[in-house]
Amino acid sequence: MIAYASSEYCGPLDNSASDQYIPGCVGRVTANTELKIVDINTGKSLGPNEDGEICLRGPKLISGYLNNESATKDAIDSNGWFRTGDIGHYDEDERLFVTDRLKELIKFKAWSVAPAEIESCLLSHESVDSVVVIGVKHKTDGQFPRAYVRVKDGKCVTEEELIEFVRGLDLIG
């Protein structure tokens, strides 16, 4: 069983055994809890199967961080929505899937890029066995994404080919 929890919001999801197991699903929102997914750049609410920041609202949310008004304002907006810092989406049946962490986003120029998104794209290349992407500091552009790639046995691919492959997928902009 996969679970999802937060110290700021008590029991936001139910992952009951009566639901059919779906890989990556962390459950459905509990009674008296609201969930929305927002675009990390615009704050616009997103629909089913669109990744964005997971936000929760309801009576089980903390009132704030003790003696830290600034952190409280950063985490909970004026409408009572708690920004979890997690990236995910819900499906047509309102099941939640967590796919990444916002704090792990790579800030490249004006964009925020999820390492998991680049990793997923690279894994779709026929020669890539496994990959991890990190952000590397850059003095003018924030961070550059750097991928560490393991090539499948018997396959061959160049760094330039992989860069062009990812560039062709238009992950930013």
Q: Between helices 159-167 and 115-123, what is the axis angle to 10°?
A: 110
- What is the tens place of the pLDDT at every residue in 93-119? 888 998 888 777 788 887 878 788 888
CA distance 133 to 123: 11
The residue type of 86 is D
Is residue 18 located within the same domain as residue 98?
yes
Residue 153: pLDDT band with limits 50, 70, 90:
very high
Domain presence at residue 146: yes
Contacts of 172 (CB under 8 A, 6+ apart): 108, 111, 113
CATH number assigned to the domain comprising residue 154? 3.30.300.30
CA distance 169 to 173: 11
| pLDDT over 70 at 75, yes or no | yes
The structural domain count of the chain equals: 2
In this prediction, residues 85-92 reach a mean pLDDT of 92
Is residue 36 located within the same domain as residue 115?
no
Q: Where are the beta strands (DSSP E) in the chain?
A: 13-14, 25-29, 34-38, 52-57, 82-90, 95-101, 106-108, 111-113, 128-138, 142-151
Residue 33: pLDDT band with limits 50, 70, 90:
very high
Domain presence at residue 71: yes
Is residue 153 located within the same domain as residue 132?
yes
